[in-house]
Structure 1
Amino acid sequence: MKLFVFDLDFTIWNAGGTWCDSTHPPFAWKDGKLKDQESRWIYLYPEVKEILAELKAEGHLIAVASRTNAPTVAKQLLHLFEIDHYFDAREIYPGSKLTHFDRIMKETGVAKEHIVFFDDELRNIEDIRSAGIESVLVNNGITKELVKPYLTREIAQDLLQSKAC
């Protein structure tokens, strides 16, 4: 896969058991934990930074597709977690994930057969699959185990193409 697209809430981070648009900024780091004004702990899932760094190091494009009602909050969290620089495209606003993907594909120039999408909501997975894009349901945050098959799939495809030449 050339382009890896991630949802945010419950895929990249846990916003204290809720969505980021239900948190109460401003956020502050306290005792090494990011908290909102209600002391809700907002955290990245453990393997997120390693996954993003590895994808970027291997030359993959990375995007965000989030239908949050609080895009400013989501963008602030990306910055506070120091992961915003990994993303080549950001579609963060309320609305259809299909619209997000139309814009991501236009911005990156990547065709749908070279994209994989990770999200925690089945309705989003079904919508994006209906558009012909590989989609993976995430439970309890993104993991290397979920991403790995899409890295090895690209390697296998490259090997097959080079043998065919």
Structure 2
Amino acid sequence: MEDVEKVKAEALQLMGVFQVIPKLVVFDLDHTLWPFYCECRSKSDPPYLFPQVKGIMHALKHKRVDLAIASKSPTPDIATTYLNKLNITSMFVAQEIFYNWGNKKDHFQNIQSKTSVPYNSMLFFDDDDKNIQGVSELGVTSILVTNGVNLGAFKEGLTRFSQNWNSPKNKNKPGK
């Protein structure tokens, strides 16, 4: 596992390059924060994160960026147990962990309602393209991850967020 402080420092350096950063970063869980599906494991199994996740989350918290979870887990009890075991539950201002058949628009409507953060001020990471497409329709900058959240995906997310923020269609939207 990479050193949390080293990854945090690199993530902070990345954020320093951008004039605007998200107010809220939302993460999927399975194959995004951790490299497995909760429903294929039991509560007694030890959870673990992708190597750079914790450093990135600490950097975001250092910059006072709120964090949230949007997960379609069919086993929310296991997901919640894992978050508690990893001692990261308190890092999230909203946790929307429930199963539905569609994309995650319902999750994001709940998160937006709880946080009052406009969709165009959010950045989202997920490993499922269907979720990325659906949430993008709300105006959320959404990044497809193929090997979990890491510094490369984080940089891509900040870059796309900045581009979306500065696009002409976003200039007069609320939340700027």
- Fold-level match, TM-score > 0.5? yes
CA distance in 2, matches of 1:132, 1:69: 26
CA distance in 1, matches of 2:92, 2:42: 25
Q: 1:117 aligned to 2:130?
A: no
Aligned partner of 1:136 in structure 2 is 143
Aligned partner of 1:101 in structure 2 is 108
CA distance in 1, matches of 2:156, 2:42: 37
Aligned partner of 2:153 in structure 1 is 146
**Worse-superposed segment, 105-114 or 79-88:** 79-88
Give the secondary structure class of the aligned counterpart of 1:90.
strand
Give the secondary structure class of the aligned counterpart of 2:155.
helix
Q: Which runs of 5+ in 2 are unaligned?
A: 1-21, 166-176
CA distance in 1, matches of 2:81, 2:114: 22
**Equivalent residues in 2 for 1:47-62, closer than 5 Å:** 47-62=52-67
Give the secondary structure class of the aligned counterpart of 1:13.
coil
CA distance in 2, matches of 1:132, 1:59: 22
Give the TM-score of the pair, scaled to structure 2.
0.74
Aligned partner of 1:2 in structure 2 is 23
- 1:86 offset after TM fit, Å? 1.0
Alignment counterpart, residue 68 of structure 2, candidates 42, 46, 63? 63
Give the length in aligned residue pairs. Answer: 140
- 1:84 offset after TM fit, Å? 1.2
Identity %: 36
CA distance in 1, matches of 2:118, 2:88: 25
> Contact 2:143–2:157 (CA<8 Å) still a contact in 1?
no
Alignment counterpart, residue 90 of structure 2, candidates 73, 76, 85? 85
CA distance in 1, matches of 2:151, 2:89: 19
- 1:151 offset after TM fit, Å? 4.7
Q: Which runs of 5+ in 1 are unaligned?
A: 28-33, 35-41, 158-165
The one-letter amino acid of 1:21's match is E
CA distance in 2, matches of 1:60, 1:150: 14
Supply the RMSD in Å over aligned alpha carbons.
1.8
**Worse-superposed segment, 141-150 or 68-77:** 141-150
Q: Which has the higher strand share?
A: 1
